[in-house]
Chains A and B, each alone.
Chain A
Amino acid sequence: MKNIYLYLSVLFMLVSVTTSAQIYSTKDGKIDFFSKTPVEDIEAHSGVVVVLLNTKTNDVVVQVNNTSFQFPNKLMQEHFNEKYMESEQYPTSTFKGKIAQVIDYSKNGTYDVTVTGTLTIHGVTKERTIPGKLIVKDGTIQLLADFMVKVVDHKIQVPKLVVAKIAEEISVHIDAVLKPRQ
């Protein structure tokens, strides 16, 4: 009888070890975004994006602190936080979704994927399906995605004075290499 408990506990231990290895994560994913208009090109970069992937359920979460975006022009950076993103009120931008494809995470390979979920920016949540690339290589998982964000979709108000300088659609690029979470 005692032996059964022992076997069981070993089994459970194994299960819990394998399930904790199903989370892949990084704290230094990258997001770049670009706003292109005939008047002005603006771009910003963050290198401290938190990305988490559950390989068992295919759930993905991408979250970035808005104040971590660096602009070459610091005045723009201040305006980005103060006027457009209102980062004191809405400190983070978040995407959470599910990868639609079945992926063998144990084999090296490149997969085209689509992720369906919700994108929350400026406190406004939108349903989105975003195409991307997933690269499994030697125990790491790289996620790449390019997509557009409409400024009006997230109720970000652009003053009429600068309307010509800020694009209606911002192009966003994500690049993150995930490792098994300890």
Chain B
Amino acid sequence: MKNLTLFILAFCFVGKVFAQDDLLKLADEENTNKPTPVYATFKSTRLVNLQSNETMKAKHLDFRIMHRFSPMDISPDNVYGLYNLFGLEGAVLRLGFEYGITDRWMVNVGRSTQRKTYDLSTKYKIVEQTRGKKSFPFSINYFGNIGINTNEWENKNINNYFTSRLSFVNQFIITHKLNNNFSFLLAPTLVHHNLVDTKKEPNDIFALGIGASIKITKSTRFNIEYIPRLNGRDEPRNPLGKPRYHDAIAIGFDIETGGHVFQLHFTNTNGLIEQQFIARNESPIELAAIRFGFNLSRTFSFDKTK
């Protein structure tokens, strides 16, 4: 009988003790039950060379200018550094537009001066990292790209096919924003060239992009990336008998000023699309090959809805 009384009393109190702080507790519960997507894993749609998990949001257009200058020649045995103003005399350039069709899906068109290559690409957020109770720890994006090399044919006397101009990239971008200050990225990548220079050179190159980003201030970040290739490291060879292509590395800074993002970086590649900087980067990882480069992006919103 005693137990019954206690039970009933307890039952009664359950309903009675809703004070202000209990309301707050309820509100907290409701809010933590909602998984909220993380934002700003990276500052821009590119880390340095690699794609990040960020996409242009719906009805937002981004105009992007990318520059990679000539090697800076800062190694001790080079005397041309200052003479060539640390490589600023020569540059590879890519102009591109990125447009968000939905908040998760963007398309991209551009042209880079290297091999006069046009590129069409798409990036889709398959999964978004969320915080909260039923959270998911990673963002997963797919990135695909078609490159069209429009250089004149080297030999016009043979049958040349349009398909020989084409190259493709398939890439998954897996990212995790650890906290407010640190994010990292893994990008398993397949680059396919329809036409390669020699028989020994593989058409398919597999690579694993690795990158990380550290927030320095509210408007600046420091980024680092390395893209080791998993096959085709020894072929083709250059005239000296050494491997012709090399892995790409880069460090960079993002500086954001309102609608602009400036990305300033040092890298060993002058490729501006994945086909070039992942599969066909001719500069080794050494001081003499380091060059200065920048990406400048300006975003415009065409979203008039409230």
Contact = CB atoms under 8 A, between A and B. Distances in A.
Given A61-B23, A161-B257, A73 B301 contact: yes
Nearest to B40: A82
B304 interface: yes
B28 interface: yes
Contacts of B4: 5, 9
Contacts of B18: 19, 22-23, 54, 56-57, 59
Interface in B1-21: 1, 4-5, 8-9, 11-12, 14-16, 18-20
Contacts of A162: 258
B11 A43 contact: no
B30 A75 contact: no
Nearest to A76: B301
A72 B305 CA distance: 6
B8 A59 contact: no
A138 interface: no
Query: When A and B form their complex, which 4 residue pairs have the shortest distance between CB atoms, in order from nearest?
Result: A19-B15, A16-B15, A74-B57, A63-B27
Interface residues on A, range: 35 or more
B1 A5 contact: yes
Given A61-B27, A88-B179, A72 B304 contact: yes
24 contacts: A5-B1, A12-B8, A18-B15, A48-B34, A52-B23, A54-B23, A57-B18, A61-B23, A61-B27, A62-B27, A63-B24, A63-B30, A65-B34, A67-B37, A72-B303, A73-B301, A73-B303, A74-B301, A75-B60, A75-B301, A81-B40, A88-B180, A92-B31, A96-B20
B30 A50 contact: yes
B23 A96 contact: yes
Nearest to A72: B303
A83 B218 contact: yes
Interface in A83-100: 83, 86-89, 91-92, 94, 96, 98
Greatest chain B CB density within 10 A among A17, A22, A50 is at A50
Interface of B: 1, 4-5, 8-9, 11-12, 14-16, 18-20, 23-24, 26-28, 30-31, 34, 36-37, 39-40, 57-58, 60, 103, 131, 179-180, 218-219, 257-259, 299, 301, 303-306
Given A5-B4, A22-B18, A65-B34, 18 more contacts: A5-B1, A9-B4, A9-B8, A19-B15, A19-B16, A23-B26, A27-B30, A54-B18, A56-B18, A59-B20, A63-B24, A63-B28, A72-B305, A74-B58, A75-B301, A82-B218, A88-B179, A92-B31
Contact of A43 (B26, B257, B306): B306
Interface in A36-54: 43, 45, 48, 50, 52-54
Contacts, number: 123
A23 B25 CA distance: 13
A140 interface: no
Nearest to B258: A162
Nearest to B39: A81
Given A22-B18, A82-B218, A83-B218, A94 B27 contact: yes
Given A9-B8, A17-B15, A52-B26, A89 B180 contact: yes
A64 to B, nearest CB: 8
Contacts of B219: 83, 159
Contacts of B14: 16
Contacts of A13: 11
A15 interface: yes
B23 A65 contact: no
Given A59-B19, A61-B20, A50 B27 contact: yes
Given A12-B9, A22-B18, A63-B31, A87 B39 contact: yes
Contacts of B58: 74
Nearest to A165: B258
A120 to B, nearest CB: 10
Contacts of B304: 72
A83 to B, nearest CB: 5
Contacts of A56: 18
A20 interface: yes
B179 to A, nearest CB: 7
A78 interface: yes
Contacts of B60: 73-75
